[in-house]
Amino acid sequence: MKAIGIDLGTTNSVAAVHYPDRKTTEVLQVDAKPHTPSVVGVRTRKNGDEYAVVGEDAVHGAKDSTTTVFSVKRLMGRTVGEPQVAEVSKRFDYEIVPASETDPTAAIRMGKEVRTPTEISSLILHKIKQDVGRGLGTEVTHAVITVPAYFEIAQRAATRQAAEAAGLVVKRLIDEPTAAAIAYGVREVGTTGKRVLVYDLGGGTFDISLLQMVQDGDGRNHLQVAGAAGDNWLGGDDFDHLIVDHVLDQIRAEYGEPMLDQKFRRLLKESAEQVKRRLGQSEFAEVNIPGAFRTSPDGPLVDVFYEVTREEVKRLIAPLVARTMALVDSVLAEGNFTPEDITDVLLVGGSTLTTSVREAVVSRFGADKVRMDKPMECVALGAAILADAVSGLECPSCGTVNDDESENCSKCKNSLHGAMSASGLVIYEQTTMALGIAAVDGDNPDAFVEIIPKGTQYPLTKPMTKVFTAAGRQVRVPVHEGVHKIASKNRVQGVIEVELPEGLEPNSDVEVSFNYDGDRVVTVVVRVPGTTFVQSATLHPKAVENGSPAPQEESTEELERAIDIVEMFVAKYDSYIEPWHRDRIKSRLHNAKDAFRRQDDKEQRRYAGLLYRDLDTSGLATTLYYADIVAERAEPAECENIRRKAQEVRQAHEQKNDARRALSEKVLGELIQRELRKQSGGALADPSDLLRTKNPSAR
């Protein structure tokens, strides 16, 4: 297992690794460079096949701006109606469309394919995983991935999915400013009471976060976000555009309205970016583009050569720098802080390498507080430190540091649930669903009673408890995760059977408490107040959420079944699976078989879950697979109907008639749903549930 940190940036992505024995953290090379442009493009082979290119290749070979995707991070987890999506549409040439007729997720038309931002990000992450693995001489399996502090649940989920699709186990998603603070060492002993301002000016976005290091009741340090602001459309790119406009003004002053083609504009933008960077070291830099344009259709080619000074750039970008400082002031004002209250200012993002940006921050806070160390890499470096730190659990009872995967302490044998990472730094995440139990509530025999509400920060610092009335001695506690008021509409995470002590009064109180740790493991404790009765059990919601079958099944059997089904699926539906997705499934099968050989319980369940998810997300192949299964169980007339529609979809696909295929696929989807509802007595509408319980055609 090799764990790395990845900063999946809007403009650039960076990977890093921490070596605990050497106490060093290093940036890893992708395409022999420390920064990978977060850009994906499409190329066409001579035979008409299309394939994706990522990073430098996508930027430099970019011939077609309509199929070269920049800034995909801005679209993560968004739907087509959102304002941010409209803004991206305005600024970039690629076409944003709904993922399908029934799915409004924003997706991008790339040549013949429509790809979701998750898929595109997964291509970037996959490239990083492969290249970095080659460099390290070992397969990279795990990662801590950073996301902006303002990312919501859907955007975080999309990022997590992208990483999983790229074959990475996500150890944690962590906020970018927090990662930066870790890289800058704001987690070491004696840092309590620090108030840290993270000024992150990247390629396209500006984020300002105010972090406080606080200590909880158990003496654990954690970073709290005490304030945040930003501008989604402010960054180094805007600096480049101002330099471009400045040079164009000079060209116009000299040549009137010359003929400027797309290629020249692209070269000028690249040159402006280079100039901006060089001005960090020197007072002057040149824009130099030989044979740039013609003044008239048969006029000679003109060479562009202009000198740009640091002072000029400072003047050009001054209004933008002032805007960043106004946002800094607003964060301070909101928290009722003055610059004196801030102990450290961390400069993050490539654009803080611009001299006048740094000067503005220093003049507000004083040189002694402002720190700049590898601003383009520090987010990835912090993630790498965490990737290493979270691999190791400190036993809450005896302090022994255990292996990441351990359930119980190797020394004192106590449970490690709720144990903190050995680094002593706890990073909080929020639950995306409520956790609770099914109980009788008034007239409702199937009420979902929440114990941990949706949006609760976890790991919990102490368990959350509710009191119930026990109807008899045998108590069943069905644990569900979801947000529906009817318990059975939420996913079952497990059932705990409890036998209460003899001689208890009828209708006695029973206390049920849930703990939820950093690995998303639920520990349920049932107590009877006033007695010594305690019974506890642990559940692993992750495996169930990932789509694996009920926890009763042995993990080895579960994985074996998943491998069988998915191998059959790939063989039978091969021509309907996108090539990149097929590669992903194959690499997953390979890893799953490894996990099977290793017989590691947790890993086996995880891979089974991931394989089922691949099965669920294979687009057209998934639809056809569901259709086959559902048809097999349907009445003859309906079976015929489903099969006919599936045949239409196949034909349209073979004829490359996308419009007809999409339409037939939608109708087929509706037929599948209708039949599923019928087969399950009206309750079940998720085909994947059916697949996992029984699978006659899969074997």
Ligand X SMILES: Nc1ncnc2c1ncn2[C@@H]1O[C@H](COP(=O)(O)OP(=O)(O)OP(=O)(O)O)[C@@H](O)[C@H]1O
The contact set with ligand X (CB under 6 A) reads 9-12, 35, 202-205, 235-237, 273, 276-277, 280, 349-351, 353-354, 376
Please give the residue whose beta carbon sits closest to Mg ion in the complex.
Answer: 202
Where do contacts with Mg ion occur on this chain (CB under 5 A)?
9, 202
- Residue 478, binding choice from ligand X, Mg ion, none, Cβ under 5 to 8 Å by partner class: none
Minimum CB separation of residue 379 from Mg ion in Å reads 6
Closest contact distance (angstroms) between CB of 567 and ligand X is 39
Whole-Å CA distances, 272 to 278, 288, 303, 352: 10, 10, 16, 17
- What does the radius of gyration of the chain's CA atoms come to, in whole angstroms? 28
Nearer to Mg ion, 387 or 477 (CB): 387
Other residues' Cβ atoms within 10 Å of the Cβ of residue 524: 23
Give me 425's structure tokens.
């730094």
Q: Which of the choices Mg ion, ligand X, none does residue 353 contact, using the CB cut-off of 5 to 8 A by kind?
A: ligand X
Torsion sign over Cα 518, 521, 522, 525: negative
Closer residue to ligand X (CB): 39 or 477: 39
Are 573 and 625 in contact by the 8 Å Cβ rule? The answer is: yes
Residue keyed to tokens 């003047």: 315
On whether the CB atoms of residues 474 and 499 are closer than 8 A, the answer is: yes
Of ligand X, Mg ion, none, which one sits near residue 450, judging by CB under 5 to 8 A according to partner kind? none
Residue closer to ligand X (CB basis): 247 or 642: 247
Q: Are 148 and 208 in contact (CB under 8 A)?
A: no
Nearer to ligand X, 183 or 419 (CB): 183
Q: Which does 204 bind (CB under 5 to 8 A by kind): Mg ion, ligand X, none?
A: ligand X
CB of 177 to ligand X, least distance (A): 11
The DSSP annotation for 176-232 comes to HHHHHHHHTTTTSTT-TT-EEEEEEE-SS-EEEEEEEEEE-TTS-EEEEEEEEEEET
Nearer to ligand X, 71 or 604 (CB): 71
Which option in ligand X, Mg ion, none does residue 376 bind, with CB closer than 5 to 8 A by kind? Answer: ligand X
Name which of Mg ion, ligand X, none residue 609 binds, using a CB cut-off of 5 to 8 Å depending on partner kind.
Answer: none
Q: How many beta carbons lie within 10 A of that of residue 336, not counting itself?
A: 8
Report in angstroms how near the CB of residue 239 gets to ligand X at its nearest: 7
Check the CA dihedral 522-527-532-534 and report its sign: negative
Q: Closest separation between CB of residue 59 and Mg ion, Å?
A: 17
Closest CB to ligand X among 276 and 520?
A: 276
Task: Residue 237: name its binding partner from Mg ion, ligand X, none (Cβ under 5 to 8 Å by kind).
Answer: ligand X
Q: How far is the CB of 431 from ligand X (least distance, A)?
A: 26
Phi, psi (degrees; rounded to nearest 5) at 502: -65, 155
* 77 binding partner (options ligand X, Mg ion, none; Cβ < 5 to 8 Å by kind): none
Q: Name the residue nearer to ligand X (CB basis): 270 or 616.
A: 270
Nearest distance from C-beta of residue 176 to Mg ion, angstroms: 6
Strands 474-482 and 434-441, how do they pair? antiparallel
Sign of the dihedral through C-alpha 559, 560, 563, 565: negative
CB of 166 to Mg ion, least distance (A): 19
Report, in Å, the least distance between residue 686 CB and ligand X: 35
Cis amide prior to 177 (ω within 30 degrees): no
Tell me the closest approach of the beta carbon of residue 279 to ligand X, in angstroms.
Answer: 7
From the list ligand X, Mg ion, none, pick the one residue 350 interacts with, judged by a Cβ distance below 5 to 8 Å according to partner type: ligand X
Tokens of 224: 């709290």
Q: Which is closer to ligand X, CB of 313 or CB of 419?
A: 313
Q: Side chain identity at 353, as an amino acid letter?
A: L
User: How far, in Å, are 26, 223, 349, 387 from residue 177 at the CA level?
Assistant: 19, 10, 11, 16
Q: Using CA atoms, how far apart are residues 510 and 520, in angstroms rounded to an integer? A: 24
CB nearer to ligand X: pick between 265 and 590 = 265
155 binds, among ligand X, Mg ion, none (CB under 5 to 8 A by kind): none
Q: Is 83 helix (H, G, I), strand (E, B) or coil?
A: helix
Residue closer to Mg ion (CB basis): 9 or 541:
9
Are 131 and 56 a contacting pair, CB within 8 Å? no
C-alpha torsion sign, points 551, 552, 556, 559: negative
